Structure 1
Amino acid sequence: MNNAPGQVPEYLGAKSLKENALLHYVQAMEPETVSQLSRPASAEVMQVIEHNVLGLLGGLPPQDFDVTVTTSRENLGRLLASAIMSGYFLKGAEQRLAFEQSIGQTGSLDDIE
């Protein structure tokens, strides 16, 4: 996949691009919005993501090995879907942890009753 930024890959043709609303939506976003949505809010989430990706692709050190990953379009799509679902899960877990920590600082739920 050696496409220049902003270029549509050959296999996506003009017709497919019009039919792919998600791709069109993401391409229309401001770069700063994409950057903000792509960046995990905490170091813990970043470590979980790194661990997950290393588990999926393998963790050979790049300075010692020249690793190339080859896959089909369908399998790459599945990998992307898995990454999106993992991201939603991690974001929800991160928000819940922050919520529980804020409740813990102001008092427990037992104190409210």
Structure 2
Amino acid sequence: MISIIDDDGSVRAATHNLVRSLGYVVNTFASAEEFLRSPCLNDTSCVITDIRMPAMSGLDLQAHLLATGYRFPFIFVTAFSVESDRDRAMKAGATCFLSKPFDGETLIKCLEAALASNGRSATG
């Protein structure tokens, strides 16, 4: 299962539609907190998340999950690319860091690399 977390509903929907069109099982969330409360947390194979969100950022989510033993790939997307955010994400093990707007081909390549890196299925 691919979990998409973005506070922008249009980005969330577009990313969901693209990933689902590839045959993946997808769940979407408007916040990191919503994702953490979700029962699908344990079934997640990859997280695609915005860096900057109200309350808990994508970077804070990544750090929280790593600290609590969850190890799945992260693909970060952001409209406000900052080198220090990219460095922090990649040092913590992110697969990709994409600036919005990103093209579908690039996201697909990142997703394929992320899933290959952990050997988990995301199809249903």
Question: TM-score band, normalised by the shorter chain?
Answer: 0.3 to 0.5
Q: For the pair shown, which has the larger CA radius of gyration, 1 or 2?
A: 1
Higher strand share: 2
Output the TM-score relative to the length of structure 2. 0.32
More helix by share: 1
